[in-house]
Amino acid sequence: MVWQEGRDALWRASSERDVSLHTGKGCADALRERGYEVALVDVDLEVAARLRESRIDVAFIALHGRFGEDGAIQGLLESMGIPYTGSGVLASALGMDKVHSKLLFREHGLKVIEYRVFPSEKAGRVTVGDLPFGLPAVVKPAGEGSSVGVHIVREADSLGEACRDAARYKGDLIVERYLKGMEVQVAVLNGEALGAIEIVPKHEFYDYESKYLPGGSQHFYPARLPETHYRAACDAAEKAHSVLGCSGVTRSDFIVPSDGSPYILEVNTLPGMTATSLVPEIAAGNGISFAELCERLLEGAALKA
């Protein structure tokens, strides 16, 4: 069992550390409920030594953000010969990198919102003139999750500040056209869509607080879409899961405008597994308890390289 509670500053660098702690505790409790012996492993620069000392049979990865979701811990586990849950090194790295994943999605026929990429060092010099689609626009870092560093910019005077803030995080800077539509998330388990859930955030978009604070958003499962639009979102999520080469469970995020075309935003290769997380909610809507979901993920643990 891998649980991010490292003391080392490098591993604390993940902007999603708090979410990892909640996911880790929840998954550990669920697996114990199913009769498994669980060892909680501190993840820091000494994680390899801790894993050897623990003599674990399999690693259940309950990490989000840098070092846990981006292929880093997956690579370590591969080199140590320890089977693990979730996606492999390449799929994890691609899922975390919005620039390269968008290129793959577009290459395989998935709808991607028009966007531009800027190096982080140019953040303070990005102007509306650099955006062929103009404003409003969405500014985000290319290498973060959980809506960290994301801004909706409606006024030209706010663009520079938003870009500078997003540039504080890992990766290039992405600025994409703002597309109004329903926020829909689709869970895919072992290559098959479990279903699509609709999110109505209390804030302007599904930001960090909307995702993780109780009452931060309303959820409608199944998503309130016509059947053909609902199926299109599920099909797109299955395709995105396959395109990246994912394993286990993923959550694909979409904007669905009025014409029903799902525009993919990203694939989360290690989606949240907290009390307010969407994948457990979708699974519950299919009669799969949280403990059963964790056990299914554990049963799929393997080396991927």
Catalytic residue among 14, 120, 268, 277: 268
d(C-alpha 193, C-alpha 234), whole Å: 6
| 212 Cβ neighbours under 8 A, 6+ residues apart | 18, 19, 22, 146, 272, 274, 276
The β-bridge partners of 255 are: 183, 263
DSSP string over 239-283: HHHHHHT--SEEEEEEEE-TT-PPEEEEEESS---STT-HHHHHH
- Dump strand ranges (E) for 86-228: 115-118, 137-141, 151-153, 173-177, 182-189, 192-201, 217-220
CB 194 within 8 A of CB 187: yes
| 142 Cβ neighbours under 8 A, 6+ residues apart | 97, 98, 99, 117, 170, 171, 172, 173, 174
Would residue 168 show up in a list of annotated catalytic residues for this protein? no
d(C-alpha 28, C-alpha 137), whole Å: 40
Would residue 212 show up in a list of annotated catalytic residues for this protein? yes
Catalytic residue among 71, 253, 263, 277: 253
d(C-alpha 101, C-alpha 240), whole Å: 9
Catalytic residue among 15, 16, 84, 144: 16
d(C-alpha 18, C-alpha 118), whole Å: 29
Catalytic residue among 146, 147, 217, 247: 146
Would residue 272 show up in a list of annotated catalytic residues for this protein? yes
Catalytic residue among 169, 206, 212, 230: 212
Phi/psi at 69 (nearest 5 deg)? -110, -5
Would residue 146 show up in a list of annotated catalytic residues for this protein? yes
Say if residue 9 is exposed, middle or buried (CB neighbours under 10 Å; 0-12, 13-18, 19+). Answer: exposed
Catalytic residue among 97, 172, 266, 295: 266
Would residue 299 show up in a list of annotated catalytic residues for this protein? no
The β-bridge partners of 250 are: 188
Would residue 268 show up in a list of annotated catalytic residues for this protein? yes
Catalytic residue among 26, 71, 195, 272: 272
Catalytic residue among 171, 217, 248, 251: 251
By annotation, the residues acting in catalysis are: 16, 146, 212, 251, 253, 266, 268, 272
